[in-house]
Amino acid sequence: MWVAFAAIALAAVLSLAVFAALPAPEPSVAGPTETTPSVQPTEATAARISCDGANLEVDTPVVRTQPDGVVWEVINTSDRTLEWTLGEIASGRVEPYATFREMLTIRPGTWLVGCASPPDAETAGPSAVGSLEIVDPDGYFTPWQLDCPPDGVYTREGPMEGAWGDPATPVAVAGRRLTGLESTDSLEQADYIGVADPVVRVMRNGSIVGYLLFAWDHGGWMLIQLAGCSGTSFDWSARSVAAPNPPGWFEWCPAGPWLEAEADWRQAASEAATQFTVAYAAGDEATLNQVLDASVPVGVQFAAALDGGAAPIVTDTDARGGYIVDDSCGSDVADHTVTATVKGGTEGSTVDFTVFLVFRGDEGWKVWGVR
């Protein structure tokens, strides 16, 4: 009997869908006509169904998303425990004459809902089915389901080495440690904007080809699942790696080959940093073209501390780029970057800033970043 009921309900939904797809009649051009305003279903703030096992009422046909998902309610009007289902992604039980309420991260769309006595009940009653629509007018949800066949997906479960304890944003953490990215790939936070366990998706040529699921642990984000489409080679590195879209402080990174610097690198790097600071403050583009690395985009604007006329003084140099470069551009770039701490650049300035340089052989030291 419940099968027949389900078939009737499904046929009704399909017939409504076909009817909705029919083109609207063209208005008459003979003159103005009076029209009756259409009545649109009210968008509820919670999805609610009422069920007694044999009958199911969808009290909220259209439901509006919230920042962290959809409020889901099941009201049991019977004297026995019932089992509810929401598509194939969620199910649960509700006690007699009770209400089940929970926040679910179900994606927008039309969903079949069901209610029946649980399979292990002494007396199993008939099933009841219905449908509801979840809408996302405020754009709280960003899809992350892979655009590849189910049999073309590979998944790794975590936690993985080096995947926890990083307090940066999930997108930045993914950019630091995810390998297998191509130059055109982008990393974007997905799922609902307010979820506790965020998802980062990998976009390639307009398709979702991978995702990473994080959870907060050890004072930072821990990777607990990594998935990709067949043909990709995503993996997780315990060390920072260069990303196609550098996170953190830098929007670009220098590339190899990496050359060994001369013995007096401190003096030479300090002179290049000073030359850059003076030229930038003066708007001397000819000198800037000589001292800037090829990785620096044309016309880029650096820190405001460089805008001025005070004579810069290099107060310190370091033979490595440090954790900021490591996190943004990877360990290879950090290992071959020299930093020069500069005081000055504006009249009376007491603020220090850092110039990042790489050695380019016969061309000398080149500036690729400022912080």
Distance CA 261, CA 91 (A): 63
Beta strands in 6-67 (DSSP E): 43-44, 46-51, 56-58, 62-64
Query: Which has more pLDDT, 346 or 237?
Result: 237
pLDDT-based confidence at 166, cuts 50/70/90?
A: low
pLDDT for residue 27? 34
Domain 41-139: which CATH number of 2.60.40.420, 3.30.1360.10, 1.10.10.10, 3.40.50.1010: 2.60.40.420
pLDDT digits over 19-55, tens only? 333 343 333 333 333 334 444 456 899 999 999 988 9
Query: Which has more pLDDT, 331 or 189?
Result: 189
Least confident among 116-130, 204-218, 267-281: 116-130
212-246 burial string, b = 16+ CB within 10 Å, else e? bbbbeeeeebbbbbbbbbeebebebbeebbbbeeb
SS3 assignment, position 225: strand
Q: Could you name the CATH architecture of 265-370?
A: Roll (3.10)
pLDDT for residue 220? 75
Question: How many residues are given for the chain?
Answer: 371
Least confident among 75-84, 121-130, 276-285: 121-130
Q: What does each C-alpha distance from 270 to 114, 354, 366 come to in angstroms?
A: 71, 11, 11
pLDDT-based confidence at 125, cuts 50/70/90?
A: low
pLDDT-based confidence at 109, cuts 50/70/90?
A: very high
pLDDT for residue 263? 83
Q: CB within 8 A of 134, min separation 6: which ones?
A: 47, 63, 65, 70, 106, 107, 108, 109, 110, 111
pLDDT for residue 124? 57
pLDDT for residue 29? 31
Distance CA 238, CA 326 (A): 12
pLDDT for residue 77? 95
Query: Which has more pLDDT, 318 or 140?
Result: 140
Residue 317 reports pLDDT greater than 50: yes
pLDDT for residue 304? 54
Does the pTM surpass 0.85? The reply is: no
SS3 assignment, position 329: helix
Q: DSSP letter string over 274-301?
A: HHHHHHHHHT-HHHHHHHB-TTSPTT--
Q: Average pLDDT, whole number, for the chain?
A: 79
